[in-house]
Amino acid sequence: MKEAREFRLVFLEGHYSEKDSTPLDPQWLTLTPIEGGGLRLSIEKTLSTPIYLIHRCEGIAAAQSQLQVHIASGVHVSLCERFMPMPAATGGWRGTTEITLAKAAHCEYLHLQEPVAGAWEHDVSVYQEADSVWEAHTFLTGAGSHRADFHMEQAGTHANATLLGAFLGHDTQSVNVSSTVVHGVPETRSRQLVKGIAADQSRCSFHGMVHVKPHAKNAYGKMHNHNLLLDSTAEVQTMPCFQIEHDQVVCNHGATVGQLRTDELFYLQARGILPARAEQLLSRAFIEEPAAEILQRPEVGPAITAYIDAFFTGRAAIKGNTP
């Protein structure tokens, strides 16, 4: 059977929609029910095309989703989980995605949440066996109430995990991001970089944890969170934490909350750049570092770029000048 150009698994109101999804070859991809009404996706072969998990909610009832993904030993896969815009009348969405990487598996994971009106909560749990590689890129655009939780458990030596995240909060939105990496065995590595921009009256937070267990000799853990306040009425709370139970490790962290530098704004404005445009240039340079991978992907990059453009265009209109 010829491999499809792309694999799309569509979930409507938290339920799998077979008619909207790509037919799956059982030799490569299988879907089986799990207890509680969810599904288990098993990936047994390296695919040259990405797998899209598309979530849509249009009803007034709250939707829930439960998905387990198992990536077989040695398999390399690109997985994109995308949450489409929800109307204001929706009852919200809550779901869990559990991903297991067998020995030497490699997963590139794109996590894209587009604008939603109601409450939105998503838990992503990752279990890594030896020599596996987890590369996650997430971009969150905010919601009325928004929570994203990433949990990475490294249970095999030489497991490597990376999380690069970015979020934008505006109006009265609430954006809450948490991330945990557990180094359970020796010779494991992790890196976390999350950047956020808060504007208007938004309330945003980041809670990060690196836990090095007693037998995790030579673990390497790096975690950084940097945030930008565009308005004095916005708020960001950041809490990077370490729990280290072995003395032969390399761990470091950093966290900042600040505003745009006045000297950089003055430099740009002194050269004829309007204030809103100056703010946009500096803010985009700040947020695009962790979001670079998503912005470069043709299947999702244009949607995020359009949202960022609209974000700053709206601010420029309020301030009475255009970027």
| Alpha helices, H only, the chain | 262-269, 275-296, 301-319
Q: What is the mean pLDDT of residues 271-280?
A: 86
Where is pLDDT greater, at 166 or 61?
A: 166
Given a cut of 50, whether residue 1 has pLDDT beyond it is no
Cβ(178)–Cβ(150) below 8 Å: yes
Where is pLDDT greater, at 90 or 213?
A: 213
Task: Write down the pLDDT at residue 229.
Answer: 94
Residue 261 DSSP class: -
Distance of CA 268 to the CA centre of its chain: 32
Q: What is the mean pLDDT of residues 55-65?
A: 75
Lowest mean pLDDT of 79-93, 215-229, 238-252, name the range: 79-93
Q: What is the mean pLDDT of residues 198-220?
A: 94
Where is pLDDT greater, at 174 or 150?
A: 150
Q: Which residue has the tokens 């500096």?
A: 282
Burial class (CB in 10 A: 0-12, 13-18, 19+), 68: middle
Given a cut of 60, whether residue 318 has pLDDT beyond it is no
Phi, psi of 314 (to 5 degrees): -65, -40
pLDDT band of 210, cuts 50, 70, 90: very high
Q: What is the mean pLDDT of residues 136-164?
A: 90
Q: What is the mean pLDDT of residues 292-302?
A: 82
**What is the per-residue pLDDT across 164-208, written as a single tens digit (0 to 9) for each?**
999 988 888 888 999 999 999 999 999 999 999 999 999 999 999
What gap in Å lies between CA 204 and CA 199, rounded to an integer? Answer: 10
Given a cut of 60, whether residue 19 has pLDDT beyond it is yes
Q: What is the mean pLDDT of residues 59-72?
A: 84
Where is pLDDT greater, at 117 or 57?
A: 57
Phi, psi of 145 (to 5 degrees): -145, 125
Q: What angle do CA 150, 53, 98 make, to 5 degrees?
A: 35
Task: Write down the pLDDT at residue 5.
Answer: 65
**DSSP percent split of the chain into helix, strand, coil, nearest 5:** 15, 50, 35
- Tokens matching residue 23: 């037919």
* Residue type at position 243: Q
Q: What is the mean pLDDT of residues 59-79?
A: 88
Going from N- to C-terminal start, the domains of the chain cover 7-261
CA-based nearest residue to 275, from 316, 309, 307, 227: 316
Q: What is the mean pLDDT of residues 36-42?
A: 87
Given a cut of 90, whether residue 135 has pLDDT beyond it is yes
Spell out the SS3 assignment of 122-170: EEEEEEECCCCEEEEEEEECCCCEEEEEEEEEECCCCCEEEEEEEEEEC
Cβ(52)–Cβ(29) below 8 Å: no
Residue 6 DSSP class: -
Task: Write down the pLDDT at residue 296.
Answer: 85
Chain mean pLDDT for the chain: 87
CA-based nearest residue to 3, from 40, 31, 32, 29: 29
**What is the per-residue pLDDT across 91-132, written as a single tens digit (0 to 9) for each?**
677 889 999 999 999 999 999 887 666 778 899 999 999 999
Given a cut of 70, whether residue 61 has pLDDT beyond it is no
Given a cut of 80, whether residue 142 has pLDDT beyond it is no
Where is pLDDT greater, at 36 or 12?
A: 12
Task: Write down the pLDDT at residue 184.
Answer: 96
Task: Write down the pLDDT at residue 91.
Answer: 63
pLDDT band of 51, cuts 50, 70, 90: very high
Given a cut of 90, whether residue 227 has pLDDT beyond it is yes
Cβ(122)–Cβ(96) below 8 Å: yes
- Tokens matching residue 95: 């779901």
